[in-house]
Structure 1
Amino acid sequence: MGKSALILFFTTFSLFAQNDVKTCEILSKINTLILREHIQPKPIDDSLSVFVFDSFMDELDPSRNIFLKSEYDGLVQKYRKQIDDNIKNKNCSFLTEIITVYKSNLLRNKTVLEKINLSEIDFELIDTIRFYKKQFPFYMLENQVEKVWTKKIRYEILDDIASTSKNLDSLKVNFNAMAIVSKNAIIQKELCKINTLLESPASYDESIYNHFCRYFDPHTSYFSNDSKSSFVASLSNERLSLGMVVNLNEKNEIIIHELDPKGPAFQTGKIKKGDQIISISNQKETLQVSCSSLESISNMIQSETNKEIVLTLKRNSSNYFEVPIEKKILKDESDSVYSFIVEKNKKIGYIKIPGFYGDFEGESGKGCAEDVAKEIFNLQKENVKGLVIDLSDNGGGSMEEAIKLAGIFVDKGPISIIIDNKQTQTIIEDPFFGMLYKDPIVLMINSSSASASEFFASILQDYNRAILVGTPTLGKATMQSIRPLEEYKDDHFLKITINKFYRITGKSHQKTGVNPDVYLPEFYENIYQKEKDQITAFKNDSIETPIYIKPYIKPSLIQKIALKNNRRIDTISYFNEIKIINTKLNSLNNNPKRETAMTLDSVFNDQKAINSLFEEISSFESKKLDLNIYNSDLTNLHLNFNLPDKENNQLRLKALKTNHYLGEAIQILEDFITLK
């Protein structure tokens, strides 16, 4: 070995050693903070080792085509039950060794793919392929690597060709020519992914920190300064933004779908709706869209730290062109509270709350609660007789805003109980005296209503202040706070679960979700991942509480309205058809997929069966409802002076006019008003 190579060898391992020490130091600090402040800390033992090791290996090799079985078994023997001891002994070399093997295997796969690209694939060979719903064992042997990858590429070619036409005979006639084009595109994409992984400056330390954190619960996570800034920004409806919305098309290309006329992307004068994003650069690194994960692309676009980025775009069949953009602070209208007036037999107010946003780093007090209050004043001027509040797909946000919002609708008294890691109970009181709004309310919830949404919904349900309609919510009844790992330092943070919250009855919706009074089925409701599906989620429990509250109306009235409407909804064909389609979706999702023959006929027929189901969903009847939906006078006045908001307003109006869930909410609210 030459002298220079020897120096490089020792320098490289010296750097690895330094990184290993730093990794252990941060893990130790994370553990110290968790032991001190987490609601339910666990001991650092073999269980943690197994969870961290298995989660990390699943992340690195989800398809089981990177690590050999022998390599995996060797790492299991050395580390699967030893990571806890390694961390205690400040020896985190396990990370360096795993990543060294991983990158070596990526290089091996690259060589194999280049070989396959120069070879012919035998499509006449009799073979089958099976897909697994859950993770399957590491199985690949050294002499099988090329076979495994050839099989994978062969299936992807068949799948790609089958997706291009509904005419099987036409595909067979043109199969050979199509296979050559498809094979080259698929292999080049795989090579691009491998090169990105090999060349990426990203560290795997953060991944280990997060697997360590999620051993304690699904919502505790590590933040670098960058990720912390992005997370805080996501909880506000005003943030640094490019002012554009992107979509994935059927080819998995990222296309610019909308441009905000007030945003920096539009104001460059060079970007148009329909442009394809080829790559994104933040001056430190460049992500090629075709071979980068959607998560990394999204982080690059949304990160608050990437204030200046360069987009490489393509328009139609023209050449690529670059556009530098500097983000600016914009209000995200899609995440802001808005309202309409709905008339059927009575005049009803409708308020949509997309998220519980707030001013997290300022003292303005502005947030969704204040915006809801403004919309209520606006609607009261129009003499509405009741209110529909829509929390569908509201993933939560600021608990402070949820508390304020509950105070608007509850007269006075306790609204929730929280406990900390010392099991100390704290009763949260209504922050305001009196109610801003006193008339009947229907609250719309669904499977994606989570956290602060569930907190707010449970309060109104316990006080009989609203009738809840929809499907059971996500099932998260915990509160998180962002803490620095070290005081007075701002480079490492933890979003840590510090409280569990309970209903004023002492019950919890943790894992179970908040159950509606009137059930309205929705597509995919049993497929969406819920809190109960997270293996480290807290169990459901309850606490003793001496609290007594006076319900806003008699429970018997809620029960009467719920019983009447549940019976009525059971007879509505729209919702019964959703139940039938959901049964098919559940069967597709829950039953192991049968072994598929590696032939064009078999892949085409499988695709046809799946596509017909999704076509059934996409073409599902959404007839216009017999509802008159319109803006308040004040909203119309605002739109006259803010023309860019007018298009968004019209899209919302159009969507609501075919929203059967709103139609049922209005019917239930009218029953509520009549009976009350």
Structure 2
Amino acid sequence: MKRILLFSLLLPLSVSSQSNDKMCETLSKINALVKENHFQPKPVDDSLSVFVFDKFIDGLDENRNIFTKSEYEKLSKHRLLIDNYIAKNDCSFMNDFVSIYKKALERKKSVLEKLETVSLDYNSQDSVKFSKDQFPFDLTENDFDRVWKKRLRFDILEDISKLSKNADSLQLHFTEIEKTIKQRVFDTNLCKVNSILNNKNGVKSILKNDFLNAFCYYFDPHSNYFSFDAKSSFLSGLSTSNLSLGIEVSMNERDEIVIEEIVPGGPAARNSKIEVGDVVTKVSNTKGEEYWVSCSSMETIGEMIFSDHNKQIELTLRKKNGTTIAVLLKKKVMKATANAVYSFIAEKDAKVGYIKIPNFYADFDERSPKGCADDVAKEIAKLKKDNISGLVIDLQNNGGGSMAEAIKLAGMFVNAGPISVLVDNNHNQNIINDFFRGEIYDGPIVILMNGYSASASEFFAAALQDYNRAVIVGSTSLGKASMQTIMPLEENNENDFVKLTIEKFYRISGESHQIKGIIPDVFAPVLFDSLIKRENSFKTALPYNAITTSTKYNPLPKNITSEIINLSKTRIDNDLRFKELKSINEEINFTYNKPRNPVRLTFTDVFKEVHDIDSLWEKVKNATEKENSLLIYNTSYDTKKLASDDFQREINTFKLKDIKSNPYLEEAINIINDYKKFKQ
């Protein structure tokens, strides 16, 4: 009997020890890969310890309402020792995090269950504070009832306020609405806690993944650890469903599902209520099953959205202005479009070709030569047949993709010569050359960019700018000039991978756009530009630097371009629409940068806080939907092709509408017309 008892007491310690050993083994392999392959590996020292600890603890308790001050202090003893643990191959420190985190979650659950049965007072003088800086860890065991009661009241009042702009109507039905919203808020919070406590892989597995990601992030924001878990399975399967809602999604830093793209011609595109940037908060089907994204596994959400068994799905969406809407969509079989790149002719005094490149895609299976560069070449062939006098290449919101495609495409517009310089962690320079003489198009080119234009987009734009081959219009790009590769932790390991930054690329002048971004030749106001999270906002981003390189190249003369750029700047300064965008931006910047005052926990005060920016959002909506004065139509080739294809015609209508509201295209055509005049 004593032997059995002794065995049962030792078993948890043995399992925990094995788990720590496994984590240390993974951490050791990641560290070895980083040292050998990362572009700029950093020493594993106290700086790493502090950064990883702080990032890890922030992820566990970002809002400072989970841990007590004494619990944080217990964990803080590890803050300067993580580098020592790595050196000793000792990951037993994770036991402290797991036990304290579980205790904190159990306490939160208990507090929520207690408050769920209590009537909440919405007429008190209590208020909530907001801060861009994180609050300190200063709670005691006795504070949680008070803190969570305030937090929950605010959440309930905020959700009620988002239901309508009519305060009187909400106030009239407040009691019945509050009952429903209160239940939902408590269910969501309890669900979040239970989803962690009852995770099939255990709390320790969640913390292990978070810690390993924090470790990788220390070296740069684009390096991370991942395995084929629910998230990767969910995201990788988005484009493979037979029946589709016609949306592409991504996950933001808060693990929320965000509508990233609406596929033209699909169910979502036909519903005018759905917009890019909407956050999916809940999904449900016609069988009465519903799941909140905040506390459901990605397998469950993925099955609901993408399974062919659910032919109708209701998406509950949180709009950019905070309001919530529910949209019922019926899935349909989506035909594959010919390619992602597309073109139109835009006319104002002259015919100009417009090409949209959403991303630098490629056939990674290498089954065919099809890719972004070849598709652009096809579109240019169509446009040239219709005698265009200039070309506009739209890279707005193009987040990058295949560098091989970007290199190939840049070479199509450069006669011959170097395009870029790649540098590895040994400072070896690899000059990327275009060896094929000639250009697919030798007329004037304007490139449109914004703060979301990144990576391969920046590579392509930099090459054309260095050769004076194009005028760039818009706002400064993201500022990412690094290359990543995905590496298994060891051979034949298909479960654990690290995405590592292994190279940095430089312009042929030796300059880099890392951190700086591609600076446009002509700045034009872009809504929300100052709020875009560019590379320079990440603490661990690779620094800017320039190199001395042996590249020799022959750019086109810049005398004409300089005069054209000055004319464009003058036009933009005097253009009414750009003045409007600039004015709205000033209001956006003021609204988002001003300190938020404390808000009393009454319906009146919270409603005012929620709807304070309604007028601003209305201005944004009106400005973005305003149409330009251009004549836009299809190439003669596409016109014939569309005549017999209803589906493609529907997609074409969607694209046309998008281009008609592009305020930068008209100025791009003005630049091309100026170029023609100067050449004459």
1:433 equivalenced with 2:441 (yes/no): no
Q: Residues 186-228 of structure 1, C-alpha deviation per residue, up to 9 Å, x if partnerless?
A: 1122112222222223532222222111100111122324689
8 Å Cα contact 1:341-1:629 kept in structure 2: yes
- CA distance in 2 between counterparts of 1:233 and 1:365 reads 22
Secondary structure of residue in 2 paired with 1:180: helix
* Pairwise CA distance, 1:496: 1.1
Structural mapping, 1:158-307, within 5 Å: 158-201=157-200, 203-204=205-206, 205-225=208-228, 243-246=244-247, 278=283, 289-292=291-294, 297=298, 301=302
Query: Which residue identity is paired with 1:502?
Result: Y
* Pairwise CA distance, 1:469: 0.4
Secondary structure of residue in 2 paired with 1:26: helix
8 Å Cα contact 1:196-1:292 kept in structure 2: no
Specify whether residues 262 and 594 from structure 1 end up closer, same or farther in structure 2 by C-alpha distance, changes over 3 A only.
closer
Moved more, 652-661 or 128-137: 128-137
Q: Residues 367-396 of structure 1, C-alpha deviation per residue, up to 9 Å, x if partnerless?
A: 101111111111111111111000000000
- CA distance in 1 between counterparts of 2:390 and 2:307 reads 47
- CA distance in 2 between counterparts of 1:477 and 1:256 reads 23
1:551 equivalenced with 2:532 (yes/no): no
- CA distance in 1 between counterparts of 2:367 and 2:564 reads 43
Structural mapping, 1:249-648, within 5 Å: 278=283, 289-292=291-294, 297=298, 301=302, 311=310, 331=336, 336-552=340-556, 554-620=557-623, 622-648=625-651
Moved more, 118-127 or 527-536: 118-127
- CA distance in 2 between counterparts of 1:471 and 1:299 reads 40
Structural mapping, 1:38-187, within 5 Å: 38-77=38-77, 79-187=78-186
Specify whether residues 490 and 184 from structure 1 end up closer, same or farther in structure 2 by C-alpha distance, changes over 3 A only.
closer
Secondary structure of residue in 2 paired with 1:418: strand
* Pairwise CA distance, 1:11: 3.2
1:31 equivalenced with 2:18 (yes/no): no
8 Å Cα contact 1:189-1:291 kept in structure 2: no
- CA distance in 1 between counterparts of 2:601 and 2:523 reads 43
Query: Which residue identity is paired with 2:19?
Result: N
Secondary structure of residue in 2 paired with 1:151: helix
8 Å Cα contact 2:431-2:551 kept in structure 1: no
- CA distance in 2 between counterparts of 1:253 and 1:67 reads 27
Specify whether residues 400 and 568 from structure 1 end up closer, same or farther in structure 2 by C-alpha distance, changes over 3 A only.
same
- CA distance in 2 between counterparts of 1:132 and 1:311 reads 42
8 Å Cα contact 2:156-2:178 kept in structure 1: yes
8 Å Cα contact 2:234-2:298 kept in structure 1: no
CA RMSD, Structure 1 to Structure 2 (Å): 3.6
Query: Which residue identity is paired with 2:35?
Result: L
Specify whether residues 113 and 256 from structure 1 end up closer, same or farther in structure 2 by C-alpha distance, changes over 3 A only.
same
8 Å Cα contact 2:241-2:307 kept in structure 1: no
Specify whether residues 540 and 60 from structure 1 end up closer, same or farther in structure 2 by C-alpha distance, changes over 3 A only.
same
8 Å Cα contact 1:254-1:277 kept in structure 2: no
- CA distance in 2 between counterparts of 1:369 and 1:233 reads 24
Q: Residues 448-503 of structure 1, C-alpha deviation per residue, up to 9 Å, x if partnerless?
A: 00001001001000000000000000001111122222234333222211111111
5+ long unaligned stretches in structure 2: 250-255, 271-279, 317-328
- CA distance in 1 between counterparts of 2:403 and 2:50 reads 34
Query: Which residue identity is paired with 2:521?
Result: D
Q: Residues 79-120 of structure 1, C-alpha deviation per residue, up to 9 Å, x if partnerless?
A: 111122112222222334313322222222111111111111
Specify whether residues 621 and 33 from structure 1 end up closer, same or farther in structure 2 by C-alpha distance, changes over 3 A only.
closer
8 Å Cα contact 2:489-2:498 kept in structure 1: yes
Specify whether residues 112 and 309 from structure 1 end up closer, same or farther in structure 2 by C-alpha distance, changes over 3 A only.
farther
8 Å Cα contact 1:340-1:631 kept in structure 2: yes
Specify whether residues 502 and 491 from structure 1 end up closer, same or farther in structure 2 by C-alpha distance, changes over 3 A only.
same
- CA distance in 1 between counterparts of 2:409 and 2:367 reads 18
* Pairwise CA distance, 1:611: 2.2
8 Å Cα contact 1:243-1:259 kept in structure 2: no
- CA distance in 2 between counterparts of 1:543 and 1:257 reads 38
8 Å Cα contact 1:244-1:260 kept in structure 2: no
Secondary structure of residue in 1 paired with 2:574: coil
8 Å Cα contact 2:242-2:308 kept in structure 1: no
- CA distance in 2 between counterparts of 1:115 and 1:4 reads 39
* Pairwise CA distance, 1:239: 5.3
- CA distance in 2 between counterparts of 1:651 and 1:135 reads 43
TM-score of the two chains, using structure 1 as the length reference = 0.87
Specify whether residues 75 and 308 from structure 1 end up closer, same or farther in structure 2 by C-alpha distance, changes over 3 A only.
same
* Pairwise CA distance, 1:569: 0.5
- CA distance in 2 between counterparts of 1:637 and 1:123 reads 64
- CA distance in 1 between counterparts of 2:634 and 2:345 reads 6
8 Å Cα contact 1:508-1:542 kept in structure 2: yes
Specify whether residues 473 and 98 from structure 1 end up closer, same or farther in structure 2 by C-alpha distance, changes over 3 A only.
same
Specify whether residues 495 and 331 from structure 1 end up closer, same or farther in structure 2 by C-alpha distance, changes over 3 A only.
farther
Q: Residues 557-613 of structure 1, C-alpha deviation per residue, up to 9 Å, x if partnerless?
A: 211111111111011121122222212222222232112222222212222212222
- CA distance in 1 between counterparts of 2:541 and 2:264 reads 39
- CA distance in 2 between counterparts of 1:259 and 1:461 reads 31
- Residue correspondences, number: 643
Query: Which residue identity is paired with 1:338?
Result: Y
Secondary structure of residue in 2 paired with 1:182: helix
Query: Which residue identity is paired with 1:548?
Result: K
Specify whether residues 586 and 307 from structure 1 end up closer, same or farther in structure 2 by C-alpha distance, changes over 3 A only.
closer
- CA distance in 2 between counterparts of 1:229 and 1:112 reads 34
Secondary structure of residue in 2 paired with 1:619: helix
- CA distance in 2 between counterparts of 1:75 and 1:368 reads 50
Q: Residues 234-277 of structure 1, C-alpha deviation per residue, up to 9 Å, x if partnerless?
A: 9xx975675323599xxx999999789999xx9xxxxxxxx996
- CA distance in 2 between counterparts of 1:212 and 1:259 reads 37
Query: Which residue identity is paired with 2:470?
Result: A
TM-score of the two chains, using structure 2 as the length reference = 0.86
Secondary structure of residue in 1 paired with 2:226: strand
- CA distance in 2 between counterparts of 1:231 and 1:348 reads 41
- CA distance in 2 between counterparts of 1:214 and 1:332 reads 37
Moved more, 38-47 or 206-215: 206-215
